[in-house]
Amino acid sequence: MSSEMLPAFIETSNVDKKQGINEHQEESQKPRLGEGCEPISKRQMKKLIKQKQWEEQRELRKQKRKEKRKRKKLERQCQMESNSDGNDRKRVRRDVVHSTLRLIIDCSFDDLMVLKDIKKLHKQIQRCYAENRRALHPVQIYLTSHGGQLKKNMDENDKGWVNWKDIHIKPEHYSELIKKEDLIYLTSDSPNILKELDESKAYVIGGLVDHNHHKGLTYKQASDYGINHAQLPLGNFVKMNSRKVLAVNHVFEIILEYLETRDWQEAFFTILPQRKGAVPTDKTCESASHDSQSVRMEGGSDSDSSEEEDSRNELDSPREEKQDKENHTESTGNSLPH
């Protein structure tokens, strides 16, 4: 090879080497199978396809929402025009008569409940608020001693509570907000039977979900504070086969129903859940009398029959107990009169 051709040959070989190095670098930079880039599964592929379709249909969904809003607005306008006496909703609201009665949910038992029961109490309070908003004779609701676990749970799971209307939510104890002579604590341990509702008074419901572990606690608190106490007249109208305990919202709804009907028996049978097995006391007496006569005819003792009947009415069956536990509205310390 001549000396003239040698430089050209060296330059060509250097170019080839650089190209080889570049190709090798590109190959090394490509992800190898099983090295940092795993094959996509069918499930992942479906997710990617769905995500892509979701993004592509974004504008279509937006357009559909606009059309739905326009349609709803048009329907409302047509409904308003078709009402001969004006807006029907406003006409209904004029029939609502607000009661001066105050109902207080006492939340001072926060430290006696586990988180599970706190959440159940929260749901019961939500139910009370919703029912009061729909009632023909809404009462003035007070939520007192509001704080601790209950407030934290409401902040985390129901942030809209801060916008609730027609309700007084206070961190103070009810005894600091209402005059002592106006307070009446509703507790089944009280010897006093409530006959009528005095709408100038403030009735206190114990906000306690304790599965009947703290018997007599609300009665003791009322006595310690020196305030009046009473129990609902349920024993005068109803006999039940299940646990003698009511949830906060049941007590609340019974009072709302009574304000509308002025009939305790109708209020009880409208609100009490069917699982409680509630029957009118007059039918219970007839049944007990019939059983007593049957026993005497068979040569049994009248007193034994009466005791057996009382035993059957006081004990809960396992099936009813199970239904009570599974029900989303758990029983609280607001028990029924025995």
Q: Which residues are catalytic?
A: 210
Reference 260, options 97, 146, 149, 150; nearest CA is 97
219 contacts 181 by C-beta, under 8 angstroms: no
Q: How far apart are CA 273 and CA 126, in angstroms?
A: 18
Strands 245-246 vs 183-186: parallel, antiparallel or unpaired: unpaired
**Helix locations, the chain, DSSP H:** 5-29, 42-56, 58-82, 88-94, 115-134, 148-157, 174-177, 217-225, 248-261, 264-271, 281-297, 302-314, 318-326
Nearest alpha-carbon partner for 305 in 318, 294, 317: 294
Tokens 């709302």, residue? 256
- Rounded CA gap, 309 and 300, in Å? 14
The SS3 of residue 278 is coil
- Residue 107, SS3 per DSSP: coil
Bridge partners, residue 143, by sequence: 105, 169
Classify residue 279 as exposed, middle or buried by CB count within 10 Å of its CB (0-12, 13-18, 19+): middle
Token reading at 181: 């002579």
How far apart are alpha carbons 213 and 112 in whole angstroms?
A: 10
Write phi, then psi, for 306 (nearest 5 degrees): -65, -40
DSSP-derived letter for residue 37 is: B
At CA 115, angle to CA 326 and CA 272, rounded to 5? 35
2 φ/ψ angles, rounded to the nearest 5 degrees: -75, 160
